[in-house]
């Protein structure tokens, strides 16, 4: 790892106390006697922000004077969570702040709870972006994150009578102490209108886009503090605002109100995050959001480049690399072509050369329904010039395909950016591969499937282009900050450098059999379970047994992630306990956290089913000493930070081949949870690291899934041949869990039978159930379990996002660190 150890804090306790009180007085206009926790939170943030901004100024100066090459991480989502605790840890001021507030009679823990999550993302992809910018700053890499300043992040989930209700998320209602508005860097973005073809004197055809409207993009900068506090990069998020242009005619004609309506439309662009993951919506506003932030960001990059290099484009690709986080920002490719060809008047080939040296693309999914496609008609309406450019890119690419596979029209129609269906569609994945110099998947198996199944011909055409970068997570947030007790224990054993060099955790392996260390490690786990039990009590009213196994599945609700397979197994245990009251199992608490996309009916039905089954089981005195089920509402980053340290078992049970990587699997294992998982995504690499003895692998492999589907999978076979499966599914159709309302849970059953069980829950059920019996036996052997838990923490070094970033730097970005002087 490149970064050095965090240095002594820049402030001592007395100075920090004084700064907090000063902000209480001068920024918040209150005093120590009147201030509530919210005011203390804001004052503490303001005091910390002073140091953050000092680091930001120094970093920007260094980057400017060294004229550094930088990565520009384009992502529609950044799931940052809370920033105060993270920033204090990265500045090595956490202890100081704790002591300072204690002396002021204030609890830091309570103050931290005041901060709303910055939930500008759906799940894995958005959180990955947040971990990556943390690692980039820590490793002192010149980098900037570009995204959207959503007014409302991912919806807040409430559970009413067992069902999910969506409420708006208003993270900025009382002001965000971290963000800085930069009106001096406002950009303008064009939309709609038409393209005029002109003939220049040199005979060159010139295209001019006459936009129908123009919106402003206002940048808000969030400082990103690296661990050690040296490099402070920025996350720049664009907010849309009416430009006032094209409204003047209406305005002058007395149309004051009509002009305000246009303002509202412009300001709608950055209003709300789309709550879908792994599914395409095809909504016009979504495309406008994507173009809006890409166009603002490209203008920003080019303005900065020109400040240093003028109109000479020859060094652009030495200075700028743009990483596309999935295809959501793929419209940046034709946008850069438009700027180079129409505005800078470069010839096409030169422009294309620049483009294809600038962009790299990360694929996060193989699910066909999640591959982005936009109707050509929609693009033509919103971005008429971009559609022309896409056609030109495609035309030239088709000529290359013809050279490689002469006369092969099947390959042409497969590789074409344009899908010639009844409604012409633009395939953003194909555009991204063609317009990028590198394409990566996010775990070994996923990248292999990207090569073999998704883009095999592209791999033949450009054998160097497709590669792998396995995901990672920042150990600063996901161990040091969220699990202070375990962190302190680790510090005591192996020193305090592991947050920067996570492979050092292997030094814990020698203590895996040590009785004293096992006791200490499991005591930390137990204390974390007690703390989570308290949270469960506050959020649900339920008292859980802290001697039970805490078995946790936390992730977005999706059929491929198979929360309903977990539910079937819970129902099996319930039934076994009812049929045989002395059924031998260690008590277990099954804990879920999951949001469903608001339009995904079956996902919402599964949430409802989990809640109804939970209600029944938790209130059934025949079983509730052994079996409890908890659905924690409003799963989000800050709740994950409370759940993960308390997990004994991590559920990673997606159908093999469907989960690109997973990152929750890494967070849980790092905190000493043992995985029950399929051979899917990064589970495979986790199994390689921890070894077969320290993980419970079950279920069909990718090849076996393909083979079963090829032969023709019939869930009925399992239903009729397996009495337990039949009984459980039939049970779901009765009114046992929904008294007076038979059939209320039937959709879950039917998705697994007449619905065809597309994700093979029934095929994997027996294997899953057997793996869970092994978990039970292992847990009862206290020594064995402690060893397994320790080995999981010890062997997670590979999954630091610092390693992912190093892989990107070496295989994709070709960056060098820039040391920022303090
Ligand atoms: C689609 C249409 C309209 C609006 C939004 C979307 C949309 C939004 C988010 C589509 C997909 C996403 C997010 C996908 C995602 O989080 N994928 C996950 O990425 C992780 C990081 O690489 C992986 O670990 C997970 O396996 C993968 O599911």
- Please confirm, yes or no, whether 726 is among the known catalytic residues: no
Among residues 364, 385, 386, 451, the one annotated as catalytic is 364
Q: What are the start-end ranges of the H helices in 278-331? A: 284-309, 316-319
Q: What is the pLDDT of residue 251?
A: 47
Orientation angle between helical segments 94-103 and 37-65, nearest 10 degrees: 150
**Residue of the CA atom closest to atom 7 of ligand 1:** 277
Ligand 1 atom closest to Cα of 681? 26
The two three-digit tokens of residue 74, written as one number: 């384009």
Among residues 663, 675, 678, 800, the one annotated as catalytic is 663
Low-confidence ranges of the chain (pLDDT < 50): 1-2, 248-251
Show the CA angle centred on residue 271, arms to residues 114 and 256, nearest 5°.
125
Q: What is the pLDDT of residue 277?
A: 87
Cα 634 to middle of ligand 1, angstroms = 18
Q: What is the pLDDT of residue 2?
A: 47
Task: Give the DSSP letter of residue 744.
Answer: T
Among residues 156, 373, 556, 806, the one annotated as catalytic is 556
Please state the pTM of the whole predicted model: 0.97
Q: Which of 680, 713, 686, 718 is nearest to 698 (CA)?
A: 680
Among residues 72, 149, 476, 555, the one annotated as catalytic is 555
Q: What is the pLDDT of residue 131?
A: 99
Mutational test site, ligand 1, from 75, 79, 122, 125, max ligand atoms within 8 Å of CB? 125
Cα 277 to middle of ligand 1, angstroms = 5
- Please confirm, yes or no, whether 561 is among the known catalytic residues: yes
**Residue of the CA atom closest to atom 8 of ligand 1:** 277
Q: Which of 100, 130, 351, 117 is nearest to 233 (CA)?
A: 130
**Residue of the CA atom closest to atom 10 of ligand 1:** 277
- Please confirm, yes or no, whether 642 is among the known catalytic residues: no
Mutational test site, ligand 1, from 77, 119, 124, 280, max ligand atoms within 8 Å of CB? 124
3-state percent breakdown (helix, strand, coil) of the chain, nearest 5: 50, 15, 35
The gap between the terminal CA atoms of the chain, to the nearest Å, is 19
Cα 73 to middle of ligand 1, angstroms = 16
Mutational test site, ligand 1, from 130, 272, 275, 277, max ligand atoms within 8 Å of CB? 277
CATH 3.40.50.2000, applies to 67-82+117-157+180-469? yes
**Residue of the CA atom closest to atom 17 of ligand 1:** 125
Ligand 1 atom closest to Cα of 126? 16
Mutational test site, ligand 1, from 660, 683, 801, max ligand atoms within 8 Å of CB? 660
Cα 430 to middle of ligand 1, angstroms = 18
Give dist(CA 442, CA 799) in Å, integer.
12
The two three-digit tokens of residue 482, written as one number: 């969220």
Among residues 299, 328, 667, 806, the one annotated as catalytic is 667
Cα 248 to middle of ligand 1, angstroms = 41
Ligand 1 atom closest to Cα of 442? 22
CA distances for 276 relative to 369, 556, 639, angstroms: 12, 10, 20
CA distances for 225 relative to 90, 139, 231, angstroms: 6, 11, 6
Ligand 1 atom closest to Cα of 362? 22
Quick check: helix, strand or coil at residue 736? coil
Backbone angles phi, psi at 531, to 5 degrees: -65, -40
Cα 428 to middle of ligand 1, angstroms = 15
Cα 710 to middle of ligand 1, angstroms = 27
**Residue of the CA atom closest to atom 24 of ligand 1:** 662
Cα 545 to middle of ligand 1, angstroms = 35
Strand 549-554 versus strand 588-593 pairing type: parallel
Q: What is the pLDDT of residue 204?
A: 85
Ligand 1 atom closest to Cα of 662? 24
- Please confirm, yes or no, whether 556 is among the known catalytic residues: yes
Cα 279 to middle of ligand 1, angstroms = 8
Is the distance from CB of 195 to CB of 388 less than 8 angstroms?
yes
The highest-level CATH class for domain 486-700+759-801 is alpha beta
Ligand 1 atom closest to Cα of 127? 21
Cα 216 to middle of ligand 1, angstroms = 28
Mutational test site, ligand 1, from 78, 122, 325, max ligand atoms within 8 Å of CB? 122
Ligand 1 lining (C-beta closer than 6 Å): 122-125, 128, 274, 276-281, 286, 364-365, 370, 442, 471, 659-663, 681
Ligand 1 atom closest to Cα of 370? 10
Ligand 1 atom closest to Cα of 128? 21
Is the distance from CB of 695 to CB of 791 less than 8 angstroms?
no
Ligand 1 atom closest to Cα of 121? 9
Is the distance from CB of 82 to CB of 112 less than 8 angstroms?
yes
Cα 122 to middle of ligand 1, angstroms = 7
Task: Give the DSSP letter of residue 249.
Answer: H
Q: Which of 448, 380, 447, 374 is nearest to 417 (CA)?
A: 374
**Residue of the CA atom closest to atom 15 of ligand 1:** 125
Among residues 561, 595, 612, 803, the one annotated as catalytic is 561
Cα 196 to middle of ligand 1, angstroms = 38
Mutational test site, ligand 1, from 365, 450, 562, 600, max ligand atoms within 8 Å of CB? 365
Ligand 1 atom closest to Cα of 283? 3
Strand 156-160 versus strand 163-167 pairing type: antiparallel
Give dist(CA 611, CA 539) in Å, integer.
14
Give dist(CA 86, CA 760) in Å, integer.
40
**Residue of the CA atom closest to atom 12 of ligand 1:** 277
Ligand 1 atom closest to Cα of 659? 26
Cα 163 to middle of ligand 1, angstroms = 24
**Residue of the CA atom closest to atom 25 of ligand 1:** 662
Give dist(CA 801, CA 469) in Å, integer.
10
Domain ranges of the chain: 1-66+85-114, 67-82+117-157+180-469, 486-700+759-801
Q: What is the pLDDT of residue 45?
A: 98
Q: What is the pLDDT of residue 258?
A: 67
**Residue of the CA atom closest to atom 9 of ligand 1:** 277
The alpha carbon of residue 310 and the mean position of all alpha carbons in its chain are separated, in whole angstroms, by 37
Cα 125 to middle of ligand 1, angstroms = 5
- Do 67-82+117-157+180-469 and 486-700+759-801 come out as alike in CATH topology? yes
């Amino acid at each position: 790892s490149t970064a050095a150890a965090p240095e002594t804090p820049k402030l001592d306790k007395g100075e920090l106390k004084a700064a907090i009180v000063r902000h209480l007085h001068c920024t918040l206009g209150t005093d120590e006697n009147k201030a509530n926790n919210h005011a203390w939170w804001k004052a503490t943030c303001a005091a910390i922000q002073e140091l953050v901004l000092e680091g930001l100024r120094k970093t920007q100066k260094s980057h400017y004077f060294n004229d550094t090459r930088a990565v520009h991480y384009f992502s529609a989502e950044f799931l940052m969570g809370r920033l105060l605790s993270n920033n204090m840890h990265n500045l090595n001021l956490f202890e100081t702040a704790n002591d300072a507030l204690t002396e002021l009679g204030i609890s830091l823990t309570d103050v931290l709870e005041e901060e709303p999550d910055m939930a500008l993302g759906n799940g894995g992809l958005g959180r990955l972006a947040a971990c990556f910018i943390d690692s980039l700053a820590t490793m002192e890499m010149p980098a900037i994150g570009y995204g959207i300043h959503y007014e409302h992040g991912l919806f807040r989930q409430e559970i009413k009578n067992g069902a999910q209700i969506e409420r708006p998320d208003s993270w900025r209602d009382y002001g965000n102490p971290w963000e800085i508005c930069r009106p001096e860097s406002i950009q303008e973005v064009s939309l709609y209108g038409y393209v005029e073809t002109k003939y220049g004197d040199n005979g060159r055809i010139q295209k001019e886009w006459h936009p129908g409207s123009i919106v402003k993009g206002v940048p808000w900068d969030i400082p990103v503090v690296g661990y050690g506090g040296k490099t402070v990069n920025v996350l720049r998020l664009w907010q849309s605002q009416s430009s006032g242009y094209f409204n003047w005619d209406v305005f002058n004609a007395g149309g004051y109100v009509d002009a305000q309506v246009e303002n509202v439309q412009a300001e709608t662009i950055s209003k709300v995050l789309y709550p879908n993951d792994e599914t395409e919506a095809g909504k016009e506003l979504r495309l406008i959001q994507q173009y809006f932030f890409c166009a603002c960001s490209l203008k920003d990059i080019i303005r900065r480049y020109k400040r240093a290099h003028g109109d000479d484009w020859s060094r652009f690709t030495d200075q700028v690399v743009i990483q596309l986080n999935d295809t959501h920002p793929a419209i940046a490719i034709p946008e850069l072509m438009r700027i180079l060809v129409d505005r800078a008047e470069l010839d096409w080939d030169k422009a294309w050369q620049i483009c294809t040296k600038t962009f790299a693309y990360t694929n996060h999914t193989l699910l066909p329904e999640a591959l982005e496609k936009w109707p050509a008609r929609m693009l033509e309406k919103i971005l008429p010039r971009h559609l022309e450019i896409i056609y030109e890119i495609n035309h030239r690419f088709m000529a290359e395909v013809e050279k490689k596979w002469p006369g092969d029209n099947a390959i042409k129609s497969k590789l074409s950016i344009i899908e010639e269906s009844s409604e012409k569609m633009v395939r953003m994945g194909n555009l991204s591969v063609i317009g990028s110099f590198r394409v990566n998947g996010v775990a070994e198996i996923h990248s292999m499937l990207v090569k073999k199944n998704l883009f095999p011909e592209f791999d033949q055409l450009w054998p160097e282009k497709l590669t792998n970068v396995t995901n990672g997570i920042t150990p600063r947030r996901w161990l040091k900050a969220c699990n202070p007790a375990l962190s302190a224990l680790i510090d005591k054993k192996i020193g305090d450098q592991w947050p920067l060099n996570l492979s050092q955790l292997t030094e814990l392996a020698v203590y895996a059999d040590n009785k004293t260390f096992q006791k200490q490690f499991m005591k930390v786990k137990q204390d974390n379970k007690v703390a989570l039990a308290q949270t469960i009590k506050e959020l649900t009213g339920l008292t859980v047994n802290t001697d039970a196994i805490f078995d946790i599945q936390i992730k977005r609700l999706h059929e491929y992630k198979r929360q309903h397979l977990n539910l079937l197994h819970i129902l099996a245990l319930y039934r076994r306990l009812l049929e045989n009251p002395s059924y031998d199992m260690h008590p277990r608490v099954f804990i879920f956290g999951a949001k469903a996309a608001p339009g995904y009916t079956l996902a919402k039905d599964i949430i409802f089913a989990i809640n109804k089954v939970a209600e029944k089981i938790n209130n059934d005195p025949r079983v509730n000493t052994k079996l409890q089920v908890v659905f924690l509402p409003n799963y989000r980053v800050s709740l994950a930070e409370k759940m993960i340290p308390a997990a004994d078992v991590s559920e990673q049970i997606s159908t093999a081949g469907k989960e690109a990587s997973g990152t929750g699997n890494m967070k849980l294992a790092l905190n000493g949870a043992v995985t029950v998982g399929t051979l899917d995504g990064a589970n495979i690499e986790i199994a390689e690291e921890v070894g077969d003895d320290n993980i419970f692998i079950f279920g069909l492999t990718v090849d076996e899934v393909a083979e079963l589907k090829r032969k023709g999978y019939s869930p009925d076979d399992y239903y009729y041949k397996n009495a337990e499966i039949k009984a459980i599914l039939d049970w779901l159709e009765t009114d046992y869990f929904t008294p007076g309302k038979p059939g209320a849970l039937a959709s879950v059953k039917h998705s697994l039978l007449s619905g065809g069980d597309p994700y093979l829950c029934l095929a994997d059920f027996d294997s899953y159930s057997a793996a869970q019996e092994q978990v039970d036996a292992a847990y009862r052997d206290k020594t064995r379990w402690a060893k397994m838990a320790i080995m999981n923490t010890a062997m997670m070094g590979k999954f630091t996002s610092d390693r992912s970033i190093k892989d990107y730097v070496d295989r994709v970005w070709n960056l060098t660190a820039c040391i920022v002087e303090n």
